[in-house]
Amino acid sequence: MTLKVVLFFGIYLVAKISGHGMMLNPPGRSSFWRFNKTAPINYNDNQVFCGGAYVSILQKNQNTGFYGTGIVVKTYEPGSVINVEIKITANHLGNFKYSLCELKNFDAPEPDNCFEDLLLEDGSANYMVNGEDKTVFNKVRLPNFQCERCVLRWTYKAGKYKIVIKVIDTYVHI
């Protein structure tokens, strides 16, 4: 029997300044409306904020937030390499990384300490953003385990400002 990985996508940002980008494949929570007419619309989906490091209230793009509706948008095999598309609308150089969390409480935001780093297909932990990048295609290896719902996180650490610009999360059923 083939195990499937079902991705529930979401976007949220941990930042001190504005980052500009969005996860389009698989679509993040705030960008899902671009592919599904029933999803909540966020015309500012390239600048999603969780309030920054000093804000502890629930944000619209976290699980259970306005855009965290739990809609299944993709299905993958455990251990597979998935294609991730990131659109950069303001390039801050730096690097991207991806991590995964098994969401155990569907009625609460994702805890930060739950996330474990994933590797790109070439074995590297990060993608280095160059100044010409506008659309980035990364191949990310999923772990070989099953879960009802996991969160795939995209983190954009800026090179110009030496801080985390953007964190985008994605839910997975493995």
Q: How many domains does the chain have?
A: 1
Q: Exposed, middle or buried, 160 (CB in 10 Å: 0-12/13-18/19+)?
A: exposed
Q: How does 84-117 read in b/e, with b if 16+ C-beta sit within 10 Å?
A: bebbbeebbebebbbbbbbbeeeeebbeeeebee
- Return the pLDDT at 19: 54
In tens, the pLDDT along 105-129 reads 888 888 889 899 999 999 999 999 9
10/115 Cα distance (integer angstroms):
14
Domain of residue 45, CATH code: 2.70.50.50
Which residue spans within the chain are E strands per DSSP?
A: 5-9, 20-25, 72-76, 81-90, 95-102, 116-117, 127-128, 135-141, 150-157, 164-173
Nearest of 170, 173, 103 to residue 140 by alpha carbon:
170
- Return the pLDDT at 74: 83
| 26 prior amide bond cis, ω within 30 | yes
Give pLDDT tens digits along the chain (174 positions). 444 444 443 333 333 344 588 899 988 888 899 999 999 998 988 876 544 445 555 578 778 888 888 877 788 899 999 999 999 988 888 888 999 888 888 888 888 898 999 999 999 999 999 999 999 999 999 999 888 788 888 888 777 655 554 455 555 444
Global confidence as pTM = 0.79
Structural domain harbouring 11 = 5-173
In tens, the pLDDT along 68-82 reads 888 777 888 999 999
Cβ atoms of 9 and 29 closer than 8 Å: yes
